[in-house]
Amino acid sequence: MNCKPNKEQLTRRLAEIVGNDAVLADKRELVVYECDAYTLQRNPPTAVVLPRSTQEVAAVVRLCAELDVPIIPRGAGTSLSGAVLAVDGGVMIALTRMNRVLKIDPRNRRALVEAGCVNAWITRDASAHGLFYAPDPSSQTACTIGGNIATNSGGPHTLKNGVTTNHVLGYEMVLSDGTIEWLGVEPDGGEEVAGFDLRGAAIGSEGMFGVVTTVLVRLMKTPPTFKTFLCVFESVDEASQAVSGIIAAGIVPAALEMMDQLITQALEEAYHFGFPLDAGAVLIVELDGLPKGVEQQAKRVEEVCRQNNASEVRLAKDDAERTALWKCRKRAFGAIGRLSPNYVTQDGVVPRSKLPVIMRFIRTVSDKYELRIPNVFHAGDGNIHPLILYDEREPSQVKRALQAGHDILDKCIELGGSVTGEHGIGAEKIDFMAKQFSKDDLDAMQQLRRVFDPDKRCNPHKMFPGAKRCAEFAQKKQIPA
Amino acid sequence: MTIKPDSISELQELLPQSQRVDEVSLEAVAELIEHVPEDMTATVQAGMSLSEFQSRLAKAGQWLPVDPPHPQVVTIGELLACNLNGPRRFGCGTIRDWVIGMTVVLPDGRLIRNGGKVVKNVAGFDLCRLFVGAKNELGIIVEAAFKLLPLSEAEAYLVKRCESLGQAEELLENIWTSDLQPTVLDLHRVDGKPLTLVAGFAGPSADIEAQSGAANALGFAVETSLDYDARFRQTAPHFTSVAPGKLISTLKNLGDESFVARAGNGVVYHPSAKPKEVPSLDLQKRVKDIFDPKGVLAE
């Protein structure tokens, strides 16, 4: 990418494709697009385009191929790993104007949507037919289905139902040379697809394989009964034991979430749900299914929690209370603003049985770096989300916060886990790839990348060691203690 | 040629030296590496038979929720490479939904790992999904990690004879829109026997009782086995796959031909079905060219 076209020429030619109102190139307009929800690194793209159709996306991508300019696909920009950061400039293709639910197909339990469609809109439209779209990331009222494909998003309810790759049947993708391919199940087609599973291979590819434009998802039947418990424990250890106990009883709850004391206190202050302020840990256990079976399992869950010294097992009394509880849980990150001016949301995974170990380790990290680290996480999946609180006005805190995160992720690898369960590698976790994988493992991933994007023009400088960094970040990292 | 390595490292040596490998027998690579019941995960080598694996898991009350025909002879490697499944597919999905990590020997001898042994993991690209169903044409799967489920407390498999495809369609619509949550939803006409709808339920005992009762009200009566699937698929290994809503019209076009259909999935096994043709996408070809440039692994 040596002889870059000048910006004016690029902008003009983009406008010829999508129209003037769909190209942003002014410095002030680009500020919004200089980072996603991971704010430690920032860099504006050269231009942003807001296409309205697959054809426009393909034409933009072809132009970028001709001019050898990087493309960065973007949904709502809720990524927590810098996945949509324009590290070295380039044309950001924002799918936010392609946001329609095209078809709800109740007979086949499918929905066809545009990539910029917001996750929660699918269930909103499908619920009239008694159906829902299962993956429910906490950002589901903002994040787009295209972005969900990029990061293979999860959410609190993935324990029983699985993640994005289990629910996206097929999709249309514009490759970096501008060709349009449909991968996986076609909208009116059968679910068996011949050939290599390119659909599955590109889910979770963090926008590095192409631009997803239209998506076919699987819908599930809404269970007739839910029972949602709030279980209060004196310590995280006891709550973790209860998690193991529930699984050992042969029960797979729809969700199994844990929040520690700092989180419940912050949530209580923000939303006044009625969380106990003195509890060491709170579990949210949700069972769903048919009435009789849910009843039977609910008894068992209550027993297991009591056996593990739960001081209270409270059942959400109606749908309104259940909804309120989940609203609180999903807004937990937001409530942290009350505790600290800044925080880093970490995302790591350990085998479920190692939860007590990692939680104890996080406490020692918190002591070591003198930073508060509240925890709210998907206990059933072993997917932890320590929130490392810091104040960016104090440079030493920034450094300690980064280091604390690194220590925790290293420990996740040591315990047989992963450095990311749902947020992705993006720009943030590149350094961990060589720790979690061998050179051969990484080379094989690069082989797959070559299949889709031989020129590495799509969302470059992500995921793999040796990638270019933003200048500003380099400075931040060098802040002396 | 067929190669039969004694170990994974021997496979790593043999593959790059070979001109053309039609089959790899992993009889010697068949250990259970790890089963952690508290994590509901297990890691196993590819040469172990599915039934052996299931019986090990059953000791802790768990299972891998797939049920292809002939689990005594199907190995974990074949299960993955050919994406095999059976009647419970409607409720349990396919092996693609349960694999969480894989170790593969590539044609050039490199041993690579992808995914891991935790149930949620998005670090790096997902090669696991690519190797499932790839028939060992891109590399040889030697080990895999799975998430598991508790064995169901109770199961019930009920049948209802149907007079016509029209009646079957009506029943299917009824079940589809009811609160019933079948794990198995099959429609079959085999061995000259009448058209039969099968609904299977699995889960907490209280549920199974209630669901069986509801199914009885629709005219379903007790049957004990799903053996028809394995038996029939010996003579009809291939299938036609359509959107579930097009099932009945597809079956009408079969005339008098026998079939076993996954009614909830739109997958119909019948003797005249042909193996599905691979689309001539550039991408499909590029995958093979990049992972097996010398064409060592037979297509």
Shared domain check, B117 and B8: yes
Contacts (Cβ under 8 Å, ≥6 apart) of B269: B232, B233, B236, B237, B238, B239, B259, B260, B261
Domain co-membership, B69 together with B103? yes
The residues spanned by each domain of chain A are 225-328
Using CA atoms, how far apart are residues B142 and B75, in angstroms rounded to an integer?
Answer: 11
Lowest mean pLDDT among A278-282, A464-468, B92-96, B232-236: A464-468
pLDDT of residue A299 exceeding 50, the answer is yes
- Please judge whether A196 and B134 are an interchain contact, meaning their C-beta atoms are less than 8 angstroms apart: yes
B30 domain-assigned: yes
Instruction: Show the DSSP H helices in B153-226 as ranges.
Output: 165-177, 205-217
Question: Is A257 a residue whose pLDDT tops 80?
Answer: yes
pLDDT at A329: 86
Residue of A nearest to B137 (CA): A196
Contact call for residues A382 and A354 (beta carbons, < 8 A): yes
Residues in chain B: 299
* B189, B190, B193, B198: CA torsion to nearest 10: -50
Count CB pairs under 8 A between chains A and B.
Answer: 237
CATH number assigned to the domain comprising residue B19: 3.30.465.10
Beta strand pairing call for A71-74 and A91-94: parallel
Could you tell me if B100 and B223 lie in one domain? no
Could you give the C-alpha distances from A381 to A353, A418, B290, in angstroms and in order? 10, 12, 34
Q: Mutate which of B146, B201, B283, B286 to disrupt the A interface (most A C-beta within 10 Å)?
A: B283
- Dihedrals φ, ψ of A354, to 5°? -95, 5
Token pair, residue A438, equals: 């061998």
Instruction: Tell me what ipTM this predicted complex has.
Output: 0.97
What pLDDT, on the 0 to 100 scale, is given for residue A2?
44
pLDDT at A471 (0 to 100): 53
Q: Which of A404, A398, A403 is nearest to A386 (CA)?
A: A404
CB A405 within 8 A of CB A362: no
CA quadruple A347, A166, A180, A137: dihedral positive or negative? negative
Query: Which positions in chain B touch A383 (Cβ < 8 Å)?
Result: 120
Q: A405: helix, coil or strand?
A: helix
For B127, which residue in chain A has the nearest alpha carbon? A201
Q: Enumerate the residues of chain B whose CB falls inside 8 A of the CB of residue A200.
A: 96, 126, 128-130, 132
* Site from A290, A350, A415 to mutate, B interface, most B CB atoms within 10 angstroms: A290
Residues A334-361 pLDDT 10s: 888 888 999 988 999 999 999 999 999 9
**Least confident range of A299-303, A462-466, A471-475:** A471-475
A448, A201 Cβ separation under 8 angstroms: yes
- State the nearest Cα–Cα gap between B254 and chain A, in angstroms: 17
Distance CA A145, CA A38 (A): 19
The total of other beta-carbon atoms located within 10 Å of residue B20's CB is: 10
Q: Are A419 and A409 in contact (CB under 8 A)?
A: yes
Which one of A104, A161, A191, A196 makes the best mutation probe of the B interface by having the most chain B beta carbons within 10 Å?
A: A196
| Beta-strand pair A91-94/A47-49 | parallel
pLDDT of residue B5: 97
CB A268 within 8 A of CB A350: no
Q: Measured between alpha carbons, how far is B173 from A305 in angstroms, rounded to an integer?
A: 41
B137 lies in the same domain as B22: yes
For residue B94, what is the DSSP state?
-
Q: What is the pLDDT of residues A109-131, one digit of tens each?
A: 999 999 999 999 999 999 999 99
Question: Residue B240 falls within a domain, yes or no?
Answer: yes
Residues B80, B94 contacting (CB under 8 angstroms)? no
**Smallest Cα–Cα separation from B185: which of B96, A168, B174?**
B174
In a domain, B143, yes or no: yes
pLDDT band at A4 (very low <50, low <70, confident <90, very high): low
Interface test with A, best of B9, B90, B97, B120 (most A CBs within 10 A): B120
The whole-number pLDDT of residue A481 equals: 29
- Rounded to an integer, what distance in angstroms lies between the CA atom of residue A382 and that of residue A359? 11
Kind plus residue range of the DSSP H or E element containing A63: helix A54-67
**pLDDT at residue B129 in the model:** 97
B211 at A interface, C-beta within 8 A: yes
Q: Using CA atoms, how far apart are residues B70 and B215, in angstroms rounded to an integer?
A: 29
**CA angle in degrees (0–180, nearest 5) for A176-A169-A35:** 50
Mutate to test the interface with A, among B117, B121, B151, B250 (most CBs of A within 10 A): B121
CA–CA–CA angle A388, A394, A395 (5° rounding): 85
Q: Give the whole-angstrom CA distance, residue A55 versus residue B78.
A: 41
Say yes or no: B58 contacts chain A, CB-CB below 8 A. Answer: no
Give the count of beta carbons closer than 10 Å to the beta carbon of residue A340: 18
In a domain, B277, yes or no: no
Domain end marker among B82, B117, B151: B151
Count the neighbouring beta carbons within 10 Å of the beta carbon of residue A320.
9
Whether residues B48 and B166 fall in one domain:
no
Amino acid at site A258: M
CB contact under 8 A, A353 and B243: no
Low-confidence residues of chain B, pLDDT below 50?
none
Which of A107, A201, A450 comes nearest B130 by C-beta?
A: A201
B6 touches chain A (CB under 8 A): no
Select from A139, A31, A9, A142 the least CA-distant residue to A92: A31
Q: Per-residue pLDDT averaged across A368-392, rounded?
A: 94
Question: pTM score, two decimals?
Answer: 0.95
Into which CATH architecture does domain A225-328 fall?
2-Layer Sandwich (3.30)
Q: Are A165 and B126 in contact (CB under 8 A)?
A: yes
* Contact (CB<8Å) A351/B39: yes
Are A201 and B124 within 8 A, CB to CB? no
Are residue B133 and residue B39 in the same domain, yes or no? yes
Contacts of A443 in chain B (CB under 8 A): 110, 112
What residues 238-277 of chain B have any CB closer than 8 A to a CB of chain A? 239-246, 265-267, 275-277
What's the pLDDT at B276? Answer: 83
For residue B224, the model assigns a pLDDT of 77
Minimal-distance CA residue of chain A relative to B83: A192
Predicted confidence band at A1 (pLDDT cuts at 50, 70, 90)? very low
Quick one: pLDDT band at residue A476, thresholds 50, 70, 90? very low
| Inter-chain touch A181–B283, beta carbons under 8 Å | yes
Judge: A195–B138 Cβ closer than 8 Å, yes or no. no
Query: Do β-strands B196-203 and B239-241 pair in parallel, antiparallel, or remain unpaired?
Result: unpaired
Does B119 lie in the same domain as B89? yes
Closest CA to B200 of B90, B37, B82: B90
Q: What is the pLDDT of residue A267?
A: 87
Same domain, B113 and B138: yes
**Domain boundaries, position B162:** 154-269
| Cα–Cα nearest to A158, from A38, A59, A20, A254 | A254
pLDDT of residue A41: 87
Count: domains in chain B: 2
Distance CA B49, CA A246 (A): 30
How do residues B132-141 score in pLDDT, each as one tens digit?
A: 999 999 999 9
Looking at residue A478, its pLDDT comes to 33
Position A475 pLDDT exceeds 70:
no
To the nearest 10 degrees (0 to 180), the angle between helices A395-414 and A355-369 is 160
Query: Within a domain: residue B294?
Result: no
Nearest CA in chain B to A207: B125
CB A387, CB A333: distance < 8 Å: yes
Give pLDDT tens digits for A416-434.
999 999 999 999 999 999 9
What pLDDT is stored for residue A57 in this prediction?
98
Contact list, B249 vs chain A (CB under 8 Å): none
Rounded to an integer, what distance in angstroms lies between the CA atom of residue A140 and that of residue A162? 16
Structure confidence at residue B165 (pLDDT): 97
Quick one: B137 and B174 in the same domain? no
pLDDT cut 90: percent of chain B above it: 94
**For residues A453 and A209, what is the distance between their CA atoms, to the nearest angstrom?**
6
Angle at A272 between CA A271 and CA A278, to 5 degrees: 115
Give DSSP secondary structure letters for B51-92: HHHHHHHHTTTEE-S---S-TTT-BHHHHHHTT---TTHHHH
Asked if A198's CB is within 8 angstroms of B118's CB, the reply is: no
CB nearest to A293's CB, from B120, B203, B290: B203
Of A183, A192, A448, the CB nearest to B127: A448
Contact B112 A109 (CB under 8 A): no
What 3-state DSSP class applies to A118?
strand
